[in-house]
Chain A
Amino acid sequence: MTIHNLYIFDRSGILLYYAEWNRLKQSGITREEEAKLMFGMLWSIKSFVCKISPLDTKKGFLCYKTNKYALHYFETPTGLKFILNTDVNAQNVRELLYQIYRQVFVEYVIKNPECNLKEPIKSELFKSQLDAFVKQSPIFGLKSY
């Protein structure tokens, strides 16, 4: 199992934070472009999924999987969006995303008055805490590249 990368968007689509771990192939476009496409795609998937759902959607769109990777999506009621790309075998990623929100994002960004919530996160403390948190997860795997 492994984790490829993480995006955090705010409600309006600003990329607050990006991190990557075992990402072996780049998309070939700039980070901004990639983030914009990612947000646009998620926005479209989310609204379409709700439209074709036979029942009222409660949690809406959660993840999709290709034969090479899986994208996991977690949105808070405040509209913060956490996206984690993993390999296809990863289990309980949703739980991990929630823990990242709860134990890292809220603790080191929301409770840090230095962090402006409408700008990309620059806090080094957040970076190192997030990195450590992701690496200790069983989903990250023991293999280090």
Chain B
Amino acid sequence: MSRQGTRLDQKKVNSELFTLTYGALVSQLMKDYENVDEVNKQLERMGYNIGIRLIEDFLARTGTGRCYDFRDTAEKIQSAFRLYLGISPQIMNWSSSGDEFSLQFDSNPLTEFVELPDHCLNLKYCNVLTGVLKGALEMVQMDIASCFVQDHLKGDPCTELRVKFIKRLEDAIPAGED
């Protein structure tokens, strides 16, 4: 196994490079689509495609099993943020039925040097994250919805991502089986 990649895993990618790359991506999308809603949608779609693959890496690295409840899921999402972005968002504001919670970010490497210009106040700059969560959890048979309810970039005191459990997805039954 002489592949460089496996050894590179141990090292960290320079976080500024990462931040700037993401910024370049978002601003290029703004130029290409010229429409904030469309950019939000594209970011989520990209995130979704990242999520469905990222979950396999997460499972392989952590060797984690199935979640027993949604709180368990929340903790695993938190640990994934630590693993991939080096941040630990706080889990808070559980709904009374336990199917909805918030992730609160004090720092966010995606937004480090970012200021939103006036004409894109509707831009959900980090919308890629909602897509990642959706894609990753869909692969483990969970349908969720998430959205940003507070955004540091729009003058809120912190960034808050609300995650809501919708339903469990059932395994497909092979044709001809009951």
Contacts and interface: CB of A to CB of B under 8 A. Distances in A.
Interface of A: 11-13, 36, 39-40, 43-44, 58-59, 76-80, 98, 101-103, 105-107, 110-111, 117, 129, 132-133
Best-surrounded residue of A11, A76, A77 (most CB of chain B within 10 A): A77
B120 interface: no
Interface of B is mostly: loop
Query: Size band of the B side of the interface?
Result: 20 to 34
Nearest to A76: B59
B5 A43 contact: no
B116 to A, nearest CB: 30
B115 interface: no
Task: Report, nearest first, the 3 A-B pairs whose CB atoms are least far apart.
Answer: A102-B60, A78-B139, A106-B60
Contacts, number: 57
Interface of A is mostly: helix
Contacts of B55: 78
A43 B177 contact: yes
B112 interface: no
A58 B65 CA distance: 9
B5 A40 contact: no
A44 B178 CA distance: 10
